[in-house]
Structure 1
Amino acid sequence: MTVVTLPPGPTVPPLVQTAYALTVNRRGMDRMRDRYGDTFTVNLPPYGRALVISGPDEIKQLFMAGFEAADNPVRNLGKVLGPGSLFALGGEEHHRRRKLLVPPFHGRRLSAYEKIVEDEAVREMASWPEGRAFPTLGSMTRITLNIILRAVFGAEGAEFAALRELLPRMMKIGSWLAVLPEPKVDLGRWGPWGRFAAVRREYDDIVARLISKAERDPALEEHDDILALMLLSRYDDGTRMSHSDIADQLLTLLAAGHETTATTLAWAVERLRRHPAILGALVDEADAGGSALREATILEVERSRPVIDFVGRQVKSESLRLGPWVVPKGYTILVSIALLHEDGSVFPNPLAFDPSRFQGTRPDLYRWIPFGGGSRRCIGAAFANMEIDVVLRTMLRDVVLLPTDEPDERWHSRGIANAPARGGRAIIRRRGARV
C-alpha cells in the first residue's frame, strides 16, 4: 500500500482560503508560499482538496507524466465550452482530437493569417484618440475578436455581426461560471447558468448555419479558414468530427483565442509605458524592420503578467510522486504560474521587467508556462504570439505611445483572465504628428 505524503497548508474554511488566495493584489498565493514553501495543500472551491506546486522540478515531473497518471481535472472549462472542446477531453481522445486540430496553427497556415491581424489592428487603431488617456483593453478585445472570427470563418456577413454581438456576452458570463461551483438548485432562466444556456443556443444556431453554408460551397477545399480545415480534416480511421464537436471546438478557439490575447496586449501597453528605454528601442527596431527585441518583450510580458492563474491536472493513477510528495488518486494538482514566474531561482530579479532575459534564447517550457505545458499546452500558443507580435509591430509603426510615471496598474480578475485594473491605459499621438 502506497503511503500518501502531502505538505502542510492552511486549515481555515475553503471559502476563506479562496478569498485569501485570489485577493485583488494577488499576494495571497505569495504569502502561502512564504509560509509553507514551494508546495502546499489548499481546499479551494471548485477543486476541493488540492496540491499547489511552483517548483520547476515538480512541474516538469507533472508535465512529463502520461495521461494515465495525471490528466484533465474533472472541473474545467469544458463545462462552459462543451463536451467536444479540447478542455473537456482527456486521455487518448484528447490526443486524437489535438492531432486533428494542430495544422491550422503552424507553419504556412499560420503566416496566412498575418494580413488579417494587421488589417484589424490598423482599422481599430485609426479610432484611437490623440492626446488623452483611454483604456486599450476594450480596443484590443475588438481587434482580437475580429481576427479570430475572420481566421475561423474566413469572411464577413450577417452571422459575423451576430457573433460579434453575442460572444462578448457569452464570455462575460462564461468566464465566471468556469471558476465557480455549479449550483445545487436550478434557477432556470433567472440564474447565470440559464442565461448562459440561452446565449449558447443562439451561438449553436449561428454556427449550424455557417457549417451548412460551408458544406455547400464547391470551393471549400481552396479555403484557408479554420472551419473549412475542420470540415475537411479526417481522423486516422477516415471519420470526421461531428457538427456538435466542431461547434464546441470553434467556441473554444473563439473564447480562448481572443480574450487572453487581448488581455496580454493590454498588459504590454501597460508595461511599455512604464519602461521608456525599452519602448524607444522597440520603435527603433520596428523602423529598421527587426523583430528580436519585440519577440523577447512579448515573452517577458507573458512571464511578468501571466493572464491565467493556474494549470490544473488530476491524479488518475493510484498515486503520483512529485519530488518528496506522494499525491493520492483524485487529488487536483494546481501549478501556480505566477509563483513560478516570480521565483528568483528561476528568473533572477523576477519583479523587474527585463526582455533581455529572453534575447538570443528560447524559454524553457517547464519554467515559462503562460500557455500551460506538457501534452495539454495551449494549441493556439503560436497563433497568439504571432497575433501579439503583429499588433505591437503595427502600433509601434503607426502611433507614438507616450510614457508615464504613474504607478503600475493593479491586477483585476475577470474570472478566467487577470487584466490590468485600468484597462492598460494609453496616451498616443500619430507618427509624424506635431507634439
Structure 2
Amino acid sequence: MTTATLPPGPSAPRFVQGAYTLLVSRRGMRRMRERYGDAFTVNLPIFGHAVVISAPDEIRQLFMTGDDVASNLGRNLGRVLGPGSLFALSGEEHRKQRKLLIPPFHGRRLTAYERIVEEEAEREMARWPQDREFPTLPSTMRITLNIILRAVFGAEGAEFGELRDLLPRMVTLGSRIAVVPLPTVAWGKWTPWGRFWSMRREYDAIVERLITQAEGDPGLDERNDILATMVQSRYDDGSRMSHSEIADELLTLLSAGHETTATTLAWAIERLRRHPAVLKELADEVDAGGGELREAAILEVQRTRPVVDFVGRQVRADSLTLGRWTVPKGHAVLVSISLIHDDPAVFPDAGVFDPSRFLGTKPDLYKWIPFGGGTRRCLGAAFATMEMSVVLRTLLRDFELLPTDEPDERWHSRGIAYAPGRGGRALVRRRTVQAPHAVASAATGAGS
C-alpha cells in the first residue's frame, strides 16, 4: 500500500467544517490558504475527506489524469440532473456521450446561433428602464433561458411557455439542494426534494412530447437545434440515445447554459460600471466594429468573478500522486478556481480588473479555469463565450452604460453559483445615434 502524504488542514469535526464552508465559503478558502498554503485537507459533509489544490502544476496533473485513476466526483449535479447527464457519467460512458454532444457547439452551428442571441438580447433590453438603476440579473436570466431554449428545441411552441415557467424554479431549487446531503427517508411534497422531483416529473413529460414530435418531423434533417441532433445521433455501435438519456442531457444543457452564463453577464455589468476607462474603450471598439477587447474583458470577468468555485475528481486507484502529495483512494481532490485566479504568482496584480492581460494571448487552461478542465471541461464553453460577447456587443451598441462609484457588489451564493449581491445593477440610456460599424454589425450579426 502506498503511504498517503496529505497537506495539513483543520481538525474540526466534519459538520463544523461543513457549516464554516457554507457560511463563509470564499473567505474561508482564503483564510485556509493563508494558514496552510496552496493545498490543504478538509473534511466536508458532501465530499468527505478532500484535498483542495490551487497550484498550476498540480491542477495540470489532475486534469491530465486518466479516469481509471481519478474520475468524476461521486456527488455532483448529476444527483439532480439525472443518471444520463454528463455530470453523472464517468469513463467510457462519459466519453461516448460527450462525443455525440460536441457537434452543436462548434463551427457552422455555433455561428448560426448568433442571430438567436442578438434577437433575445434586443427583445429583453427593449424593456429596460432608462435613467433609473435596476438589477440586470433577472434580465440576463430571461435572455439566456430564451436563447438556450431556442438553441435546444428550435422553433417556438406550446411547450416553450411551460418550460419558461418551470425551468427557472427548477434550476434555482436544484442548485440549492445539490450542495446538501440528500435525505434517506421518503420525500414528501412539503420538502425541497419532494418539490424538486415533482417538477422533474413535469419536465420529463414536456420533453417526452418534444422528443416524440421531433422523431416524427419529416424535416428533421434540416433542423439545427440540439434536440434534432440528439434524436439523429448514433453511438459507435449504431444504437440511439434513449429518451431518458436525451431528457437528462437536455436538462444539463438547459441548466448549465442558463444560470452560469446569465450570472457572468450580470457580473460583467457590475465590473464594467466600476471601471469607466475600460467601459469607454469597449463602447468605442463596438462603434469601430471590433471585438478583441470585449473578448479579453469577458475572460477577465470570469477570472475575477468566477461563478462556480470548485471543480474536482474522486481518486479511484489505490492512490494519486499530485506533486508533493499522495492522495489515497476515496478522497476527493477539489480545485479552487477562485484561489488560483486570485494568486498574484499566477496573475500579476491579481486584485486589479485588467482585461489587457488577455489581449493578444489565449489563457492558459490550467490557470484560467472557469469552465473546469481536462476531459470534463464544460462542453458549452465556446457557446457561452459567443453568447456573452454578442449580448455585451448588443448592450454597448444600443445603450450608454453609465459608470458608478458605488462599492463593489458582494458575492451572493445561489447554491452552485455566486452572483452579484444586488443583481448586477445597471443605469442605462438608449443611444439615439449609432456608428456605421455598429449598425452594420446589427444588420449582419457579425463582429462577435
Q: What TM-score does the superposition give when structure 1 sets the normalisation length? A: 0.98
Amino acid at match of 2:290: G
Aligned residues: 433
Within a 5 Å distance, the mapping from 1:122-271 to structure 2 comes to 122-271=122-271
> Are residues 1:40 and 2:47 paired?
no
Within a 5 Å distance, the mapping from 1:310-329 to structure 2 comes to 310-329=310-329
Counterpart residue number, 2:290: 290
Counterpart contact for 1:24–1:413, Cα < 8 Å: no
DSSP 3-state at the match of 2:312: strand
Gaps of 5+ in 2: 434-448
Distance apart, 1:24 and its partner CA: 5.0
Distance apart, 1:235 and its partner CA: 1.2
Distance apart, 1:60 and its partner CA: 0.3
Counterpart contact for 1:25–1:410, Cα < 8 Å: no
Counterpart residue number, 1:309: 309
Counterpart residue number, 1:60: 60
Following the alignment from structure 1 to structure 2, what is the Cα–Cα distance between the partners of residues 292 and 430?
A: 24
Following the alignment from structure 2 to structure 1, what is the Cα–Cα distance between the partners of residues 373 and 148?
A: 23
Amino acid at match of 2:425: R
Counterpart contact for 1:53–1:335, Cα < 8 Å: yes
Counterpart residue number, 2:437: none
DSSP 3-state at the match of 1:326: strand
Q: What TM-score does the superposition give when structure 2 sets the normalisation length? A: 0.95
DSSP 3-state at the match of 1:189: coil
Counterpart contact for 1:24–1:412, Cα < 8 Å: no
Amino acid at match of 1:203: Y
Counterpart residue number, 2:378: 378
Distance apart, 1:23 and its partner CA: 3.7
Counterpart contact for 1:14–1:43, Cα < 8 Å: yes
Q: Residues 311 and 136 from structure 1, CA distance in 2 versus in 1: closer, same or farther, beyond 3 angstroms?
A: same
Distance apart, 1:191 and its partner CA: 1.2
DSSP 3-state at the match of 2:10: coil
Following the alignment from structure 2 to structure 1, what is the Cα–Cα distance between the partners of residues 240 and 24?
A: 45
Amino acid at match of 2:250: L
Following the alignment from structure 2 to structure 1, what is the Cα–Cα distance between the partners of residues 75 and 330?
A: 12
Following the alignment from structure 1 to structure 2, what is the Cα–Cα distance between the partners of residues 409 and 150?
A: 32
Counterpart residue number, 1:422: 422
DSSP 3-state at the match of 2:16: helix
Counterpart contact for 1:25–1:411, Cα < 8 Å: no
CA RMSD for the aligned pairs?
A: 1.0
Following the alignment from structure 1 to structure 2, what is the Cα–Cα distance between the partners of residues 87 and 349?
A: 34
DSSP 3-state at the match of 2:52: strand
Counterpart contact for 1:24–1:411, Cα < 8 Å: no
DSSP 3-state at the match of 2:350: coil
Following the alignment from structure 2 to structure 1, what is the Cα–Cα distance between the partners of residues 13 and 414?
A: 24
Counterpart residue number, 1:274: 274
Counterpart contact for 1:282–1:293, Cα < 8 Å: yes
Distance apart, 1:22 and its partner CA: 4.1
Following the alignment from structure 1 to structure 2, what is the Cα–Cα distance between the partners of residues 378 and 172?
A: 20
Amino acid at match of 2:303: R
DSSP 3-state at the match of 2:40: strand
Distance apart, 1:185 and its partner CA: 2.5
CA-to-partner distance for each residue in 1:151-189, whole Å, 9 max, x for gaps?
000011110000000001101110111111111322321
